[in-house]
Structure 1
Amino acid sequence: MSTKIRVWDAPLRLFHWLLVIAVFAAIFTGLQGGSWMDRHATIGLAVIGLLSFRLAWLVLGSTYARIPALFRAFIALPQYLKGDWRTLGHNPLGVMSMVALLLMLGWQAVSGLFTNDEIAFSGPLSRLLSKSDSLYITGLHRLGLWVLVGLISLHVLAVLYHEFVLKHSIVKPMLTGDTQKTDAQQKPAVGGGWIAFIVALMIAAGGVYLATGAWQPPPPAPPVSAPAW
């Protein structure tokens, strides 16, 4: 007989669903272009805050959100492929999918800070680069969109496969935090309390502050030409 067991803490679940909303909003506004770019940039800063939070939560979060759990899952890939997987949390393929997605999201969010469209939009850190370098990053940022869409598509297909073919729900635990305990050795997640949450939020806020470029000195004023008398 199986019983419920806590696997995902509330901050991790909140991060996950906020990131889903932010990523789809970023893709939509980026494809619209034009006057939508200011919103796209704001959403990009939100993504940076969320990713900064997740980096902190790798250390501060509860059991299955931390680096050791992810590492143990990754090195257990041979056992997983043999069907011998009984551990809670991300499975080995899930870890690889998550890492690929977060790295690609990180690239897109950070590279977006240095982009410009040569018309009306420029990222908050674009003036740290030469114009040619900024345009080069902009091109890579645009190409990265389709890599990201491909990774998201694979992720969604994997979720659907688990839900409807393997009959193993991975969506419901990310909503409720609980899954079914199938092994006596499985232990509920612990850690990731309020103090850890507040510290992670502070780290996220610091990431957003750095990304806004507010720490940069103001650009020099354009030279004033002397009137021709």
Structure 2
Amino acid sequence: MADGRHQDHEEVRVWDLPTRLFHWALVLCVLGSVTSAKIGGNAMVWHMRLGYAVLALVGFRLLWGLVGGRWSRFTHFIYSPAAIWRYLRRKPREGEHFDVGHNPLGGLSVLAMLVWLLMQIGSGLIADDEIANTGPLIRLVSSEASLAWTGYHKSWGQWGLFLLIGLHVVAIIYYRFGHGRDLIGPMLSGNKRLPAHVPATRDTVATRLFALTLLAACVAAVYLLVVMGGGE
């Protein structure tokens, strides 16, 4: 006999293609940026370029969090303290789909990652390693401020980023082996097996072209920022 818990379940599109591509592009760019920084020397050119790419991606995600697919919007994964408490107590209200997209704790981790990346990139834009590399906006701040933010970039900023990445990985492992929930598969395919009544995200050719337009605008904005600052 079939398990009754799955009789009314079906494949539901949760993550639209722009969100998935953003996620994996961000993973690659952050890993590449960290690796090139550790190598140093001529690789620092790529550290800075990948940092610019991360800035464009984060800018896109902030916009997509406002106008993107249903489960990619901030309104569907940034919850009130009361909702977070209901999630922790496992007592959701009718209509609250905590485990469809990002759950309340996952939503907080996403927001923390975006904010931390912005701070890390912002400090990099005005950094000076006192060897051969300076951020493109260094002329906008005093030398004291530049050195202070350079110290942050290399210490608190770096280790805070590593901590957030580590927590993200631990959460993936915990949900996979502790709750039997695969978080990586849906971020590849876009789909989750959910109750049939759960609303799907919109993921059409039109929304994908719109997302591409937003990304192009973000890339152009970062390029202008770097060029106006005197960078490459």
TM-score for the superposition, normalised by structure 1: 0.87
Residue 93 of structure 1 aligns with which residue? 105
Residue 77 of structure 1 pairs with residue 89 of structure 2? no
Contact 1:112 / 1:141 at 8 angstroms: preserved in 2?
A: yes
Residue 221 of structure 1 aligns with which residue? none
Contact 1:61 / 1:191 at 8 angstroms: preserved in 2?
A: no
Residue 14 of structure 1 pairs with residue 26 of structure 2? no
Residue 110 of structure 1 pairs with residue 122 of structure 2? yes
Contact 1:70 / 1:95 at 8 angstroms: preserved in 2?
A: yes
Secondary structure class of the residue paired with 2:11: strand
Residue 187 of structure 1 aligns with which residue? 199
Residue 38 of structure 1 aligns with which residue? 45
Deviation of the 1:103 alpha carbon: 1.0
Distance in 1 between residues matched to 2:208 and 2:29, nearest whole Å: 24
Query: CA 1:51–1:178 in structure 2 vs 1: closer, same or farther (change >3 Å)?
Result: same
Residue 176 of structure 1 aligns with which residue? 189
Letter in 1 for 2:173: L
Candidates 170, 175, 178, aligned match of 1:162 = 175
Contact 1:115 / 1:123 at 8 angstroms: preserved in 2?
A: yes
Candidates 127, 145, 153, aligned match of 1:141 = 153
Residue 206 of structure 1 pairs with residue 229 of structure 2? no
Query: CA 1:146–1:10 in structure 2 vs 1: closer, same or farther (change >3 Å)?
Result: same
Measured on the aligned residues, the alpha-carbon RMSD in Å equals 2.0
Contact 2:15 / 2:186 at 8 angstroms: preserved in 1?
A: yes
Contact 2:17 / 2:208 at 8 angstroms: preserved in 1?
A: no
Contact 1:74 / 1:92 at 8 angstroms: preserved in 2?
A: no
Contact 1:101 / 1:148 at 8 angstroms: preserved in 2?
A: yes
Cα displacement string for residues 168-209 of structure 1 (whole angstroms, at most 9, x for unaligned residues): 111110000000113x43111126713421331233123312
Residue 142 of structure 2 aligns with which residue? 130
Cα displacement string for residues 25-83 of structure 1 (whole angstroms, at most 9, x for unaligned residues): 11111122222211100110010010011011012211011121123477521221122
Distance in 1 between residues matched to 2:169 and 2:78, nearest whole Å: 23
TM-score for the superposition, normalised by structure 2: 0.86
Distance in 2 between residues matched to 1:196 and 1:72, nearest whole Å: 27
Secondary structure class of the residue paired with 1:35: helix
Deviation of the 1:102 alpha carbon: 1.2
Distance in 2 between residues matched to 1:158 and 1:217, nearest whole Å: 41
Contact 2:70 / 2:201 at 8 angstroms: preserved in 1?
A: yes
What 5-or-longer segments of structure 2 have no aligned partner? 1-6
User: How many residue pairs were aligned?
Assistant: 216
Distance in 1 between residues matched to 2:83 and 2:197, nearest whole Å: 17
Distance in 1 between residues matched to 2:168 and 2:29, nearest whole Å: 16
What 5-or-longer segments of structure 1 have no aligned partner? 219-229
